[in-house]
Amino acid sequence: MSQLIFERSVPFRRAVRFDACDVPEVGLDEKYVRQSKARLPEVSEVDIVRHYMELSRYSFGVDNGFYPLGSCTMKYNPKLNEFTASLEGFTSIHPDQSLSTVSGTLELMDNLSISLSEITGMDAFTLQPAAGAHGEFTGLLLIRAYHNARNDNKRTKVIVPDSSHGTNPASASMAGYTVVSVPSNEMGGVDVEALKAVLNDEIAALMLTNPNTLGLFDPNICEISKLVHDIGGLLYYDGANLNAIMGTARPGDMGFDVVHLNLHKTFSTPHGGGGPGSGPVGVKSCLVPYLPHGTLIKETYGYRYIDERDTLSIGRMRSYYGNFLVNVRAYTYILSLGSDGLKAASQNAVLNANYMMNALKDTFPVAYPQTCMHEFVVSLADLKKETGISAKDICKALLDYQMHPPTMYFPLIVHEALMIEPTETESKESMDYFIQVLKDLKQLAYDDPQKILNAPYTTPVKRVDDVQAARNPILKFQHK
Ligand SMILES: *Cc1c(COP(=O)(O)O)cnc(C)c1O
């Protein structure tokens, strides 16, 4: 492993030296002066550059290679987005500046909200939530505020299908709801009869991802939304999979009342490694009065933020817009593709996924073999039974081919699952290479399983001992 920046430190080594001070010195009040010297590495410019270059080689991103991490939409992030996000007018502003001095920024936020409303069929958007899960939490608080305002206080439950992303039940329970799980039917969609059985006047909402985490569009969505609305519940759309339907179908038209989008997925802004992301929430007009503080609204003479004056608001979800540049990237992406381009992006994402699914279906059984949307799930349960090689082992072995593994062991309803999402930005050649590597690894699992069990061989960190890591974690750096 490489050295820490502190291990590269040599006393008095510097990257920059300042000229002698040629203006009068100003003393700081003693109480503001540090009592001991700041612990800083003393390094030259080349040390710093090499340090960060080395760290960057330890991580893997879509700029390094194929990244078919299902549900995460690791599409290529066009560098044009970086250009607009680095414009000084966007980077040099402060959240406490008077709104009249940042009208261009506000206009961009307003335009982005309008575009997202159009793409999803909703009436208004808040750009407040910082990521998808935060959007779910926000959306559920909006739903709760809506029911409470109508004195409809019996509604304590939220329905979530068993194929849902883990954040859905987590957000529902954080928002104070009891989670009711509904099973999937044999086609991978919501089991409508099972849904009917749990519908009653205690249901606040149904949360649904459509297409779901199996990459399947639920053909019963209109019936499902009618059933939920008929008992007075609302519909929440987890928009993480919007990359499958942009420009073709809109959650608002399917009957959803609230949606969150993951701009860092569908709208091509870099993610992984912890953010920043952006999880804007769109609502139908019945929920507009409850939107959080900090949501931009347009008035006759300019913009203002929703605040304490708006007494129905659910209140503040976070501080300022520290992730604003994510919104700039997403807006750039929307404008540069245009409505035809967004639709084509989704169509190609679906085409790529179906191409890969058909090329792989004889190697690993596809969990639900009908035509998929932007992703699909294969099961390696047979391989594990016959060779002892698991989905995780195959994923470790993939690392030696400079590709990121697919999502594994999710959704939970498929055993030894690999969930593969190529996205529209991958070429046929890169998909073919991945397909061939998976086929070769399957063969290797029969011929020389130990070789796979010891992989990866070429990464900075080799196969880690999961059990040791869980039982005896070393949580802080130790000098050798
Ligand atoms: C990614 C994802 C989320 C959570 O979004 P974050 O932005 O990571 O918080 C929720 N649901 C689904 C289906 C997802 O893929």
Domain boundaries, the chain: 80-334
Structure confidence at residue 271 as a pLDDT band (50, 70, 90): confident
Residue 204's DSSP bridge partners are none
Based on its alpha-carbon atoms, the radius of gyration of the chain, rounded to whole angstroms, reads 25
Q: Is 131 in the pocket of ligand 1 (CB under 6 A)?
A: yes
- DSSP H helical ranges for 161-242: 167-174, 192-198, 221-230
What's the pTM value of the predicted model, to 2 decimals? 0.93
**1: pLDDT strictly greater than 60:** no
Q: What is the number of the ligand 1 atom nearest to the C-alpha of 167?
A: 10
Q: What is the mean pLDDT of residues 107-131?
A: 97
Report the separation in Å between the CA atom of 273 and the middle of ligand 1, taken as the mean of its atom positions.
Answer: 14
Of residues 289, 264, 280, the one with CA closest to residue 318:
280
Structure confidence at residue 2 as a pLDDT band (50, 70, 90): confident
Of residues 2, 55, 69, the one with CA closest to residue 398:
69
CA distance linking residue 69 with residue 412, whole number of Å: 16
pLDDT of residue 479: 67
In angstroms, the Cα distances linking 233 to 152, 161, 171, 365, 459 are 10, 15, 17, 37, 50
**272: pLDDT strictly greater than 80:** no
Residue 236's DSSP bridge partners are 207, 258
Domain 80-334: give its CATH code: 3.40.640.10
- Residue with the nearest Cα to atom 3 of ligand 1? 132
Report the separation in Å between the CA atom of 271 and the middle of ligand 1, taken as the mean of its atom positions.
Answer: 11
pLDDT of residue 140: 98
Q: What is the mean pLDDT of residues 19-24?
A: 93
**287: pLDDT strictly greater than 90:** yes
Report pLDDT digits (tens) over 380-416.
999 999 999 999 999 999 999 999 999 999 988 999 9
Q: Is 167 in the pocket of ligand 1 (CB under 6 A)?
A: yes
Q: CB neighbours (10 Å) of residue 115?
A: 18
Which amino acid makes up residue 241?
N
pLDDT of residue 366: 97
SS3 of 60, please? coil
Report pLDDT digits (tens) over 327-356.
999 999 999 999 999 999 999 999 999 999
Report the share of the chain in percent with pLDDT over 70. Answer: 99
Cis peptide before 365 (omega within 30 of 0): no
- Residue with the nearest Cα to atom 7 of ligand 1? 132
| Residue 475, Cβ density class (10 Å: 0-12 exposed, 13-18 middle, ≥19 buried) | exposed
Q: Structure tokens of 20?
A: 């002698």
Q: What is the DSSP string of 393-419?
A: HHHHHHGGGT-PPPEES-STTSTTEEE
Buried b (16+ CB within 10 A) or exposed e, 314-323: beebeeebeb
Q: Is 266 in the pocket of ligand 1 (CB under 6 A)?
A: no
Structure confidence at residue 198 as a pLDDT band (50, 70, 90): very high
**256: pLDDT strictly greater than 60:** yes
Task: Provide the Cα torsion 143, 146, 151, 153; round to 10°.
Answer: 0
Q: Structure tokens of 134?
A: 């935060």
- DSSP H helical ranges for 86-154: 88-91, 103-120, 132-149
CA distance linking residue 314 with residue 294, whole number of Å: 11
pLDDT of residue 74: 95
Report pLDDT digits (tens) over 33-74.
999 989 899 999 999 999 999 988 888 899 999 999 999 999
Phi, psi (5° rounding) for residue 95? -60, -25
Report pLDDT digits (tens) over 201-219.
999 999 999 999 999 999 9
Phi, psi (5° rounding) for residue 378? -110, 160
Helix (H) or strand (E) holding 259, with range, is: strand 258-260
Q: Could you say which DSSP state residue 293 is in?
A: B
Q: What is the number of the ligand 1 atom nearest to the C-alpha of 262?
A: 7
pLDDT of residue 339: 96
Q: What is the mean pLDDT of residues 160-181?
A: 96
SS3 of 265, please? helix
Q: Is 164 in the pocket of ligand 1 (CB under 6 A)?
A: no
Mutate to test the pocket of ligand 1, among 69, 71, 137, 208 (most ligand atoms within 8 A of CB): 71
pLDDT of residue 480: 59
Report pLDDT digits (tens) over 139-156.
999 999 999 999 999 999
pLDDT of residue 32: 92
Report the separation in Å between the CA atom of 69 and the middle of ligand 1, taken as the mean of its atom positions.
Answer: 12
pLDDT of residue 276: 84
* Residues 102 and 93: beta-carbon distance below 8 Å: yes
